[in-house]
Amino acid sequence: MFIRFLLLLAMLPLSSLADVAAKPVTVIVFGDSITAGSALPANERDKMWVQVVERESKGRLRMVNEGKGGRPTDSVKEFEAMLVRQPQAAVLVIALGTNDSRDITAACVPKAVANLRAMIARARQQYGAKLRILLAGPPNINKAALVATKPIANEREAKLRELGDAFAALAKETGCEFTSLFGTVPEPSMTKDGVHPDAAGNAAIARAMLAKLAP
């Protein structure tokens, strides 16, 4: 199979070979405010991890940022609208779960898994069964710096771990890839509100995501 591929490449004109080598891979990232970078100062928006990944890929990846502040996994309708808005993709990253962790009841994780399962099915209907899908487990929080949910800091951290484990299992079941972002962001990078990383925290996420996406 590989020899046939090489023979086909040899038959292409040089201009076509250059196009093949230069064309970046389109990666859509469907996420929340951490993906959107909405908590970064206006003069640091270029530091959001999605943009850092694109820059560091040296032209290999074209990152499409479909992040939105406050988005939980219960956003299947928004996901379907995104599929219409973005008709083509080679890779899909689903980076959700942080907002779900506000729900510390037993229903939180099963609902989140069901939502992601629906997104995976719809994405494959849109982009094809061979679409590469990467599920990103939600990052850690800084419990001491939490603002809105500090009274349930321990429960919320536990829920983030549960969500990550459940997303890993879902990825294995559905033939997706998985990466955990829990523990990726240094606590000093989340002193603003305990959740949203600063530029250094975004750089840490970018390193982890680039390691998964670049190959």
Per-residue pLDDT at 183 exceeds 90: yes
Q: Rounded to whole angstroms, what are the CA distances from 103 to 71, 72, 87, 156? A: 13, 10, 33, 8
Angle, helices 153-174/108-127, rounded to nearest 10 degrees: 40
pLDDT, tens digit, 9 for 90 and up, residues 12-46: 554 444 444 568 999 999 999 999 998 999 999 99
Domains of the chain: 25-213 (3.40.50.1110)
| Contact assessment for residue 165 and residue 128, using Cβ atoms and an 8 Å cutoff | no
- Residues 89-113 as b or e (16 or more Cβ within 10 Å = b): bbbbbbbbbbbbbebeeeebbeebb
pLDDT, tens digit, 9 for 90 and up, residues 139-166: 999 999 999 999 999 999 999 999 999 9
Per-residue pLDDT at 125 exceeds 80: yes
